[in-house]
Structure 1
Amino acid sequence: MAKSGNMGNVFDLGELRRLVDELGSGSREARATMLDAVSAAGKDCECQSCGTEALSFPPVVLATDAVLADAVLRVPLVLDAQRLAAWTGTRQVTPEGLLPDPFLPCAELGLPNPARLHLLWVVAVNTGMIRIVRGVAAAGPLALSAELPAAALLGFWDGVVMDVLDRADESLTGSEVVDDHLAEMLATMYAVSDGLSPATLVKGILQSHEVACETRPAQMRALAVALPAELDGALSLLGYCGLIERSEAGWPRLTPLGMWAVRQDLLREGHDAPTGAEVAVYADLGAAELVDAIMKRSATPSAVTVWLESRVPEAAARELVKIAASGTAGQRGTVGTILEELGPEAEAPLREALTEPAMWRYAASWLHIRDLPAPALTPADSTWIAVDTIASLIHLGNAPEAMCEFGMLEPAEDLVRVVEEMAPVDHPDTIAVLDLLGARHSDAAVAKAARKAAMKARSR
């Protein structure tokens, strides 16, 4: 998504997804209260793998292609771009490919300012309404009409939105702060499709800006005063562009076309943004089939939500524990991720798992995290979990992520000690984990310790 380098900075979208799941069909007021409490995202891991972690968004219901295509032809921005193309006819342009006198078309077409004209010009040229050849602008190959196939109109609309969002580098909305966080704001509105109050959006942007830019208190106070009016102007511009509308309560939300376009951008960036129909198929899978689909990357995190919602938590946990107890590290890691979504209502099967040799440490940790009675874990148990966690990522083909996971275990000076403690660990993948660290770890001392520990493990 354009201007998405700060993705996640308006709100912690992972936390936002959890809140949306918890709130379900709760009142708009309840959602606003909870969402106001969402803080800006914390600092990400610096490794390349973790820095590109995909976000998971709630499933959405999109309008049909026919309805969306019909709506494209009524977007004010699109209508004005058509008017500009007709007005231009055949006309000389500057060496930069722009109209020499921007005030003339503004006056004749009733446009508010040259900035609006520039946006229309970029859209008209980039989508093919206008073609520039040897310094002359003329009618392009694209002629919009209701006769075009829906797929063609939606492809056109996708290009329009990319052009609009790319203009955030050139003061699209008139607010530098909103432009800096535009992509994240739209993604946040996508996650809460029934709308967010302007106050919630303002608070989220302010929190993000303060954290990301380390803004001084005096600057934050001034921004807090100015931002509500700036956001109002930005939302008005986004409405003109066909992305934002007002809900019945008067809250800004994405239009059906906005939902479709933001989803396209999220998918391009590798995020999990399914439709309801895409994830519904996972509800009837068995636990083993779900785990296998996740390991093969054919199922996304949203599939887990749908699967769990279709089952009693205790029954779902019992199915999953059975797989983890007898499976590989990769299966245990996958099951562990799913079990994280369950609360204390799944206590019974996790307590039963305390008798399973390959699962009891995870079960104890799961119980501890939820403040439920559980056996204490020793340092040796923590080392076993570290080996199993890295092994699970190797099984899933995520060696770079495994390296990042290991790097987060301890301060750099303690990693050598951790490696040495892995050598005697009774785990089928100990040697594979040590071989990976020995071959791939960037710290020479850690890599050397890993190779030495692997030799000890083999001799054992």
Structure 2
Amino acid sequence: MSASPLVLPPVRLLPADELAQQALAVPLLDRALRLARWAAPERAVDAMGELLDADLVAAAEELGLAEGDGDGEEDGLGEAAQAWAVAVDTGLVDLEIDEEAEESTPPGEAAGRAVQGEAYERVTAGDPQDVLELWLAAAEAALAEAASPDLEQLRDLVDDGEGPAGEEPEWDPDEEAEFLDTALANLYTLMALDDGTQADQGAVPLPVLAASLVVPDEMEQPSDAVLEEVTEVMMRLDDHFRLLAPAGLLDYQPVDEALIEEHEESGPPEPGEELDPEEISRYGLVRLTPLGVHGLRRLLVDAGASAPVVGDLAGAGGTELLDAMAGYPDHAARAEAESWLADRKPVDAARELLAAGRGEDEGAPSRRLMCQQTLTLVGAEAEPALREVLDDRQLGGLARVWLTESGASDVPTPDADMIFWLTIDTLAAQLAADDDVELLSDLVRDLVARHDGFFDTAWRVEHPATADVLEAMGRLHPDRKAAKDARKAAFKARSRDGS
């Protein structure tokens, strides 16, 4: 993975022992382990560390890949060679080749031997972390191979004129690896943002993933040229994902062969186009496996990305929890809150959350909104903590909301100042979250419609974000007069604050 400043949504991870069981069942790793056992006590190898021809055939037979003839037999030998390469790359077998023999022995002749390596001993001891480390090494080898051209691709480059006849065609492995890394990081993000309500169980349509690599965020309607590029990227990803599937990183339903023949005429569906599930699946569906989520997260973190895991904040303080949750998708924020609350008494948790919600810093409105949402998960035992802050200017409004929604009695009615302060505070939090502009516009319109003279009162609210919120309301309100009133109110608020 290349260095990355990415800040990624949190993901859920399976326990290490479950992931290790899945890793041992991955075809690529399973075959490498079987060959490491088969190779004991030693096997002859050539100067490149590859099996000799007769042993390669025996290895394919050991793996059940030697059936058939012609192309089928060649494919079996190729898969056996790949499994042997993984065994060597991951240390399941160690090579002992004399330097002089390495230089003097012709290809295909014995130059040394392979013996079981230390990695084999560690993995067979059964420690889940050792198994996962081995699987990740195998997956990285598969990623490197997927980013490398095969002979057919090299021929295509020459045929397409991308490399002069008789010369080695240009192929930038670093560029291809970066392309694949970015595609997998986008897939990771799209899956992390999925709330689990989709019928495809988190699988991402290949056109959606391709569009995330090509279509600029600000482009509402992709041009024909951009759609053609999306098609090209889809075909490129299809090649990569077919190679990666045996490594256990992802589940992949390839592009329908008929579509590959038709794509020049029809092209992929446009981003956002409504298609029935069966039609979408023809364009390819891809999802990271639980192992893939674990492994890709490791690679992203090693590359410098921030990639949190749901449950990481279970032991954190209230302020750290609320600050982090402000940047989480709704479903992940709820899961994180439930994890944090699990080992805390409701009243103690409520007191800590309310204390964390205080403040006049820029992030305080977002913390209070997260506090309010988290408190909806706390039972009636927390009521004393909420009553303790009824007179608090910053927390009294949300406390009244909680008590009312919980069916508590004798909840004091908030005065106008508290209502308007809570309104400004909530809007500040929603603007900071960069919520859907259309939804915010509807909210602003309805809010102003319910309160006569809203802006005449709102500019007087003593809240650090009052002017910014009113200015944003001026941008968001669909009515020109109301928008003008909002901007005037924002100016008054700034003048009052002397800024």
TM-score interval, normalised by the smaller of the two chains: 0.3 to 0.5
User: Structure 1 length normalisation: TM-score?
Assistant: 0.44
